[in-house]
């Protein structure tokens, strides 16, 4: 079994599904001969042809609208939006049609679409290339929002997303596209959606995070362990719908909750998680919930991006804050 990066795992999942499901069609800007700007589709057009792996004209709203029409006629489109900062023209189609076609036709038509897009900052990209606006989409009924944190998870969750009968926004954390290699079996096995993954067991505090922030969070957990604090780290993985049960169960054991995300704090997904625990697990808490998030500012240009992104030190401090009487 080969050691591969997350981006290679994503390519591998695409190839598996193209090979095994003739209704799968990839579309996006520069995904053909160029293999996508991050190479997520490298070599796939050469292998599967220019109808199964299509370069599109440059219009994100069009890509999403096409996906609705293609999916309604029995295809399974997997679209790439080149950067999350360019997804906004597609929101009309995603919100008004893709995510509600099943509902508004009482199941007569549906949209088994995957929209993949790079997520987050930390790679010295230009303006508009480092967005993490998952909360905008988590608010929308009828679409799942998924974010993997490792190569194996990217492979299994992307397969699950493509096979799901409903639309999935698949957020790919750019900062860890090539961060670490991992053995990933190319066996076509999907991972479950709608559930969290336990990254590290612990007894003193639950830290919930997703995507690239799992890296800093696990580092923080290691530091905390050295000072005798046992942190449980949960990878949310499916950002919407949230796996409330897993989080509540963990908090019931640890009595403390810290939520870490890169996106802005105001109405971020962390707020929903905090509200769920406040509503259903308040009496399990021994301390106020802490959030470690991006600031409520515009994502800064890259010279300051590491001042914006939650750091290991901020996470450690937030955990310490839950131990102050």
Partner 1 sequence: MKAVAEFKIHYVQMLDPSGQPVADLPAFAHSRDELVKMYRMMVLARTFDTKAVNLQRTGKLGTYPSCLGHEATHVGAGAALRPEDSFAPVYREIGTQYWRGVRMVETLTYWGGDERGNDFSGPKHDFPWSVPIASQTLHAAGAAMAFKIRREPRCALAYVGDGGTSEGAFYEAINLAGARKLPVVFLVVNNRWAISVPIEQQTACATLAQKAIAAGIPGVQVDGNDIIAVRDTLEQALARGRRGEGPTVVEALTYRLSDHTTADDATRYRQEAEVKAAWKIEPLIRTRAFMAATIGWTDADEQLLKTECAQQVEAAVQEFLAMPKQSSDSMFDYVFANQPVRLTVQKALARRYSGKGSH
> Which residues are catalytic, by number?
129
Query: Which residue in 323, 13, 30, 310 sits closest to 191, CA to CA?
Result: 13
Least distance to partner 1, CB of residue 212, Å: 25
C-alpha span between 27 and 267 (Å, rounded): 32
Least distance to partner 1, CB of residue 143, Å: 9
Task: State both tokens at 102.
Answer: 């099943």
C-alpha span between 111 and 154 (Å, rounded): 21
**Based on CB atoms, which residue is closest to partner 1, 157 or 176?**
157
**Based on CB atoms, which residue is closest to partner 1, 100 or 314?**
100
**Based on CB atoms, which residue is closest to partner 1, 54 or 290?**
54
Least distance to partner 1, CB of residue 70, Å: 4
Report how many helices (DSSP H) and strands (DSSP E) the chain contains, helices first: 12, 14
- Give the H or E element holding residue 234: strand 231-235
Gyration radius of the chain over CA positions: 19
Which residues in 106-187 belong to E strands, given as ranges?
114-119, 144-146, 168-173, 182-183
Query: Which residue in 78, 72, 9 sits closest to 40, CA to CA?
Result: 9
Least distance to partner 1, CB of residue 39, Å: 24
Q: Are 129 and 83 in contact (CB under 8 A)?
A: yes
**Based on CB atoms, which residue is closest to partner 1, 194 or 321?**
194
Cα-Cα-Cα-Cα torsion 99, 100, 102, 103, nearest 10 degrees, comes to: 140
**Based on CB atoms, which residue is closest to partner 1, 104 or 124?**
104
Task: State both tokens at 54.
Answer: 């299509």
Least distance to partner 1, CB of residue 67, Å: 7
Binding site for partner 1 (CB under 8 A): 25, 51-52, 56-57, 59, 61-62, 64-75, 77, 89, 92-93, 96-97, 101-110, 141-142, 144, 164-166, 194, 241-242, 244-245
**Based on CB atoms, which residue is closest to partner 1, 72 or 184?**
72
C-alpha span between 68 and 71 (Å, rounded): 5
Least distance to partner 1, CB of residue 72, Å: 7
C-alpha span between 303 and 135 (Å, rounded): 25
User: 3-class SS at 297?
Assistant: coil
Q: How far is CA 252 from CA 230, 245, 279, 283, 285, in A?
A: 15, 10, 13, 9, 8
């Amino acid at each position: 079994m080969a050691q591969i990066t997350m981006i290679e795992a994503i390519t591998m999942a695409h190839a598996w599904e193209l090979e095994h499901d003739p209704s799968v069609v990839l579309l996006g800007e520069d995904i053909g001969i160029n293999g996508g700007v991050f190479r997520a589709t490298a070599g796939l057009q050469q292998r599967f042809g220019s109808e199964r792996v299509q370069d599109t004209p440059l219009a994100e709203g069009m890509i999403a609208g096409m996906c609705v029409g293609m999916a309604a006629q029995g295809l399974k489109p997997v679209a790439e939006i080149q950067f999350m900062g360019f997804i906004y023209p597609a929101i009309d189609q995603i919100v008004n049609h893709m995510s509600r076609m099943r509902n508004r036709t009482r199941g007569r038509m549906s949209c088994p679409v995957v929209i993949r897009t790079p997520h987050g900052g930390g790679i010295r990209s230009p303006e508009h290339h480092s967005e993490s606006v998952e909360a905008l989409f988590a608010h929308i009924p009828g679409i799942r929002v998924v974010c993997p944190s490792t190569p194996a998870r990217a492979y299994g969750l992307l397969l699950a997303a493509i096979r799901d009968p409903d639309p999935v926004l698949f957020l790919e954390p750019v900062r860890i596209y090539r961060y670490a290699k991992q053995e990933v079996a190319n066996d076509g096995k999907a991972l479950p959606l709608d559930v969290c993954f336990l990254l590290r067991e612990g007894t003193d505090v639950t830290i919930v995070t997703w995507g690239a922030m799992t890296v800093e969070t696990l580092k923080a957990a290691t530091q905390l362990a050295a000072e005798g604090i046992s942190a449980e780290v949960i990878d949310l993985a499916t950002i919407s719908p949230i796996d409330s049960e897993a989080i509540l169960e963990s908090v019931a054991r640890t009595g403390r909750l810290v939520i870490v995300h890169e996106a802005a704090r105001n109405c971020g997904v962390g707020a929903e998680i905090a509200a769920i625990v406040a509503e259903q697990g308040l009496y399990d808490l021994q301390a106020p919930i802490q959030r470690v998030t991006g600031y409520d500012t515009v994502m800064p240009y890259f010279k300051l991006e590491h001042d914006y992104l939650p750091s290991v030190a901020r996470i450690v401090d937030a955990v310490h804050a839950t131990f102050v009487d």
